[in-house]
Amino acid sequence: MAQYKAPLRDMQFVMHEMLDVEKHYQSIPAFAETNRELVDSVLDATAQFAENELSPINQSGDEEGCTWNDGVVTTPKGFKEAYAKFVELGFGALAAPVAYGGQGLPPSLGIAVSEMTGTANWSWGMYPGLSHGAINTLEAHGTEEQKQVYLTKLIEGTWTGTMCLTESHAGSDLGTIRTKAEPQADGSYKVSGTKIFISAGEHDMAENIVHIVLARLPDAPKGTKGISLFIVPKFLPDGTRNGVVCGSIEHKMGIKASATCVMNFDGATGFLIGPPNKGLNCMFTFMNTARVGTALQGVCAAEGSFQGALTYARERLAMRSLSGPKNPEKEADPIIVHPAVRNMLLTQKAFAEGGRALVFWLSTFTDIVHGAESEEARKTADDLMSFLTPIAKAFLTEAGYEAANHGVQVYGGHGFIREWGMEQIVRDTRIACLYEGTTEIQSLDLLGRKVLQTQGAMLRNFTKLVHKFCQANEGNAAMAEFTGPLTALNKEWGDLTMRIGMKAMQNPDEAGAAAVDYMYFSGYVTLGYLWAWMAKVAQDKIAAGTTEEAFYKAKIQTAQFYFKKILPRTRSHVEVIDSGLETLMAVDAEHFAF
């Protein structure tokens, strides 16, 4: 199995050369002291931890999995020790508020840390990953007392967090949840119900687990307007064991070393977060954090599978190049010389590096929302995040899954065998297209809530950025191969949206029929913008003179590959969208026979 190697050079390219994060941080008073030296030291330390502590227990963790015994969950060998080291190094507290024990560094730097830990060992990374969402929710909506009791321990890392939404009958339809919360005389609540698919719901890595739970008050209105949010800890602050128990763990396709739990709340003591019946609004803080984290999993899958496939393609000898031997002293050529293999490798590379740019860029808006003094700046950043998050979550997880499958294919039969680790990436990343809102739900959110319900305002916020970029490079002949197609697609995006909107006015199901293909179109164009941006940065570096010309040349060539071989996929999605609803609904339900 190929061991993970942190892509530090590319991460530095995105953060320093493309996004200029030092200047970005200096523009936000809360993060003004975060300079390049500090950023690079965090990246270096995380790389060493991910490569030396997490990568070596990735495959063994998958093979061993978690075990459940009478409510107690034991994680695989090495997981608990790695978490203790993670806490000792202060990684969990990195982007948390100083007032509660954090280091106060920018959220975007925390995203870079999460990429490395996630690619090295995604199952392990889910344990601290869920805590980040709990921290953000408590920071935004908790009382001062709740912050002092729970937030400090979560930031310290001695406690971990979860989010408990799903119930067996409800799935993504949270309006139908049945978990109840009964008010008590002391101001607490007794929470009763069962939640399923709770990542890190029970484990042996931390002293306590803080569950963030959706439940209904006795007088709550029906639907999503009647949901409240509660803190329900495994151990109460006085050390008493609370009435919450893990009933079982799921036996899953992938992420086997991450405990996915059934959690039973039996009159468990809970504490209200935020206003009554406004729990879903508060929970969106957690959910949006989790969605960006899940988008990052797509990047992790693409990067991990690319690293494994590239190593193998350079070493594996099979057949001769059609244009003549490239390795005449050997009995065959390395498979990297074959165009079909090159196509898979470049697709992985384009999705990994393009996805990294998207998530890192998206995370800089999180910095602004958290730390900017200007309300206008925060609002602009929040609107862009709202628009881009469903694209990032849905598109990058699907792209990551495609890249993972290419990794297996490059290996051929060896890719299907466990020892090489490529099939594990496929199994692990498959869930990313499902949790935190499936691809289909994210697509509906994008087209319905973020575009049509805003009369296209959120879309225009983004397409204006693309238009300004293309306009600024209008006279640059070297950029024409990127700005030409991008300009046309950017205009088509608005036209396509208008056509869908007109149909949806006659029949709302037209939006449902178009949504997934609209998401793919949006994703390909968004990554096209980022690849054009990266190509411009690389061109400027070469023009200025550099000792790393090969690195920047490869960046431009990957952008060219993306524009020539990947971006044309938008044509098929446009055709499917324009074909409309009719053929989807023509077959009566009873005629889906077998």
SS3 491: helix
Q: Which residue has the tokens 């965090």?
A: 42
**Any idea what DSSP says for residue 337?**
G
Note the pLDDT of residue 289.
67
Rounded (5°) CA angle 9-13-18: 175
**Residue 7, number of CB atoms within 10 A of its CB:** 20
Residue whose C-alpha is closest to residue 399's, from 362, 441, 340, 356: 356
**Per DSSP, what are the bridge partners of residue 72?**
69
Residue 245 near residue 263, CB atoms below 8 Å = yes
**Any idea what DSSP says for residue 479?**
G
pTM for the structure as a whole: 0.97
Instruction: Name residues whose C-beta falls within 8 Å of residue 467's C-beta, 6 or more positions apart in sequence.
Output: 487, 490
**Residue 386, number of CB atoms within 10 A of its CB:** 18
Nearest-angstrom CA–CA distance, 91 and 127: 13
Instruction: Name residues whose C-beta falls within 8 Å of residue 340's C-beta, 6 or more positions apart in sequence.
Output: none
Nearest-angstrom CA–CA distance, 245 and 189: 17
Q: Which residue has the tokens 């979860």?
A: 162
Catalytic positions, please? 436
| Amino acid letter, residue 309 | A
Q: At what angle do helices 279-315 and 122-141 cross, to 10 degrees?
A: 150
**Domain 282-441 superfamily per CATH:** Butyryl-CoA Dehydrogenase, subunit A, domain 3 (1.20.140.10)
Residue 148 CA, chain-centre distance (Å), reads 29
**Per DSSP, what are the bridge partners of residue 189?**
183, 270
Instruction: Name residues whose C-beta falls within 8 Å of residue 231's C-beta, 6 or more positions apart in sequence.
Output: 138, 142, 146, 150, 210, 211, 212, 213, 270, 271, 273
Paired tokens of 550? 């090969």
Q: What Cα–Cα distance (Å) separates residue 564 from each residue in 347, 481, 482, 570?
A: 11, 9, 10, 12
Note the pLDDT of residue 292.
87
**Per DSSP, what are the bridge partners of residue 66?**
none
Residue whose C-alpha is closest to residue 15's, from 6, 5, 25: 25
SS3 289: helix
Note the pLDDT of residue 284.
73
How is 92-146 classified by DSSP, letter by letter?
A: TTTTS-GGGT-----HHHHHHHHHHHHHH-HHHHHHHHHHHHHHHHHHHH--HHH
- What residue ranges do the domains of the chain occupy? 282-441, 447-583
**Residue 316, number of CB atoms within 10 A of its CB:** 17
Note the pLDDT of residue 172.
66
| Amino acid letter, residue 371 | G
Half-sphere exposure of 194 (CA within 13 A, CB side): 8
Paired tokens of 54? 């997490």
- Ranges assigned E (strand) in 147-201: 159-164, 180-183, 189-199
Nearest-angstrom CA–CA distance, 523 and 465: 15
Residue 416 CA, chain-centre distance (Å), reads 26
Residue 207 CA, chain-centre distance (Å), reads 27
Q: Which residue has the tokens 């719901």?
A: 201
Residue whose C-alpha is closest to residue 314's, from 336, 339, 347: 336
Q: What is the Cα gyration radius of the chain?
A: 24
Sign of CA dihedral 171, 172, 176, 182: positive
Give me the long-range contacts of 148-154 (CB less than 8 A, separation at least 24): 148/100, 149/237, 150/210, 150/231, 150/233, 151/100, 152/100, 152/101, 153/208, 153/210, 154/210
Nearest-angstrom CA–CA distance, 219 and 4: 52
Residue whose C-alpha is closest to residue 161's, from 219, 111, 221, 234: 234
Residue whose C-alpha is closest to residue 260's, from 201, 195, 212, 211: 201
Q: Which residue has the tokens 């069962």?
A: 194
Q: What Cα–Cα distance (Å) separates residue 3 from each residue in 62, 65, 194, 311, 351?
A: 15, 19, 39, 10, 20
Rounded (5°) CA angle 72-77-80: 65
Note the pLDDT of residue 285.
66
Residue whose C-alpha is closest to residue 254's, from 75, 424, 398: 424
Nearest-angstrom CA–CA distance, 350 and 535: 12
Nearest-angstrom CA–CA distance, 505 and 123: 44
Report residue 262: phi and psi, to 5°: -95, 120
pLDDT along the chain (594 residues), means of 10: 92 98 97 97 98 98 98 98 97 94 95 97 95 90 96 97 89 79 98 96 98 95 91 97 98 98 98 93 71 93 98 97 94 97 98 98 93 94 94 98 98 96 98 94 97 97 98 97 98 98 98 98 98 98 98 98 98 98 94 87
